[in-house]
Structure 1
Amino acid sequence: MLFQSGSLAVRELEQSDNIWLSKWLSDPAVLEFYAGRDDPHDLDKVNEVFYAQEDDEVRCIIEYDAKAIGYIQFYPLDDESKREYGYTDENENIYGMDQFIGEADYWNRGIGTLLVTSMVNYLTGDKQADVVVMDPQTRNARAIRCYEKCGFRKVKLLPQSELHEGKYQDCWLIEYR
């Protein structure tokens, strides 16, 4: 368990979680903003994308009342990503994060706000992050409202930075300091 905040818990991904990821990443409502509705993930694809990669991402499952409800990952930004985003202080400890709640019954209940706030506290406390960044699509208004409630602010428009459903989407670089 990485951390727990009331009914919310975040733990590292286990192989048996591939069934949850496949379920969530086959749901068009989840895929509308994460991966794309044209890119559903069966078990083989989940295993390839989430388990076969060697990188610095820490992949986790979000639980609420001991039920798996979503996914979150975090990672230190590499030098290339820092430059791309416009960060020039190489001594800054910058983390990125991405997440989704895969169980629609848990949407619009404040769980996303609790999750993002708790993860930011974990990253700034346990990982000594100076800055935490995300890059949501500009059209994902619900997520952006959540992130702004958690203290993130828009710092830079990233034009046509994410290929999603066959079209390049604009994203916001948002940060928590």
Structure 2
Amino acid sequence: MKEYICGNEEIKIRKLQDTDEELTMLGKWRDDERVSKFYGGRDKDNSLEGLKKKYLPRIHGEENIQCCIIVYEGEDSGYIQFFPLKKEAYKEHKLENYKNAYGIDIFIAGHMGHSKGLGSKALKMLYTYLFEEKNADVVEICPRTVNERAVAAYKKAGFTPHSKLEKGEFFEGEWFEETVMIITK
């Protein structure tokens, strides 16, 4: 049974399920060049077994990352996840003035296109949920600084650049700087 955490008539966010069908769908999205060149990487194992290894501990609560599917007009259309930041990240991300910080990651499925505002709408919906239901006082998203399209999209969703992480993400064998972008309650 699909468990929705928030939504409206147009967009809903639901928990990723522990089914081969769900994980296979996620793997196809992650294999799509329009997604993999920005999220996950083209060098990742998106086989069903590889996805089970990565996502089942999250689905079953063994890792503190909530994996979700974005549903747009009734169709599974993207992936979004959220997690409370670990205490050591507060200093590194320059968030020492906050008490309950959450991080978000997102991608829109390649076949959905990227000009409908779906990502911005889903981000707004999720950070509102985190502020209201999880009592977050700040929410961050950390795109690679070179991904100017993502930085612009996150600004559109209300996030502002806050700090930089010189070695923020190890992606396809190389370290990339990330821009820590935040929105506060």
Separation in 2, partners of 1:113, 1:6: 16
CA distance in 2, matches of 1:5, 1:136: 27
For residue 84 of structure 1, the aligned residue among 74, 92, 96 is 92
* Cα RMSD after superposing both structures: 1.4
Residue-pair matches, total: 176
Query: Matched residues in 2 for 1:141 and 1:10: separation?
Result: 26
- The answer to whether the 8 Å contact 1:25/1:40 transfers is no
State the identity %: 31
Deviation of 1:40 (Å):
4.5
Task: Judge which range, 47-56 or 116-125, deviates more.
Answer: 47-56
Give the Cα separation in 1 of the matches to 2:157 and 2:106: 14
Contiguous gaps of at least 5 residues in structure 2:
none
Q: 1:176: Cα distance to partner? A: 0.4
Aligned to 2:162: 155
Deviation at 1:167, TM superposition (A): 1.2
- Tell me if 1:120 matches 2:123: no
Name the CA distance, whole Å, in 1 between partners of 2:39 and 2:177: 14
Map 1:138-153 → 2, pairs under 5 A: 138-153=145-160
Structure 1 range deviating more: 92-101 or 105-114? 105-114
The alignment status of 1:55 with 2:63, answered yes or no, reads yes
Kindly indicate whether the alpha-carbon contact (under 8 Å) linking 1:69 and 1:106 is maintained by their aligned counterparts in 2. no
- State the distance in 2 between where 1:83 and 1:15 align: 34
Q: By how many angstroms is 1:115 displaced?
A: 0.6
Where do 5+ consecutive residues of structure 1 fail to align?
A: none
Residue 2 of structure 1 aligns to a residue in which SS? strand
- Alignment TM-score, normalising by the size of structure 2: 0.89
Moved over 6 A (4+): none
Q: Aligned partner of 1:130: which letter? A: D
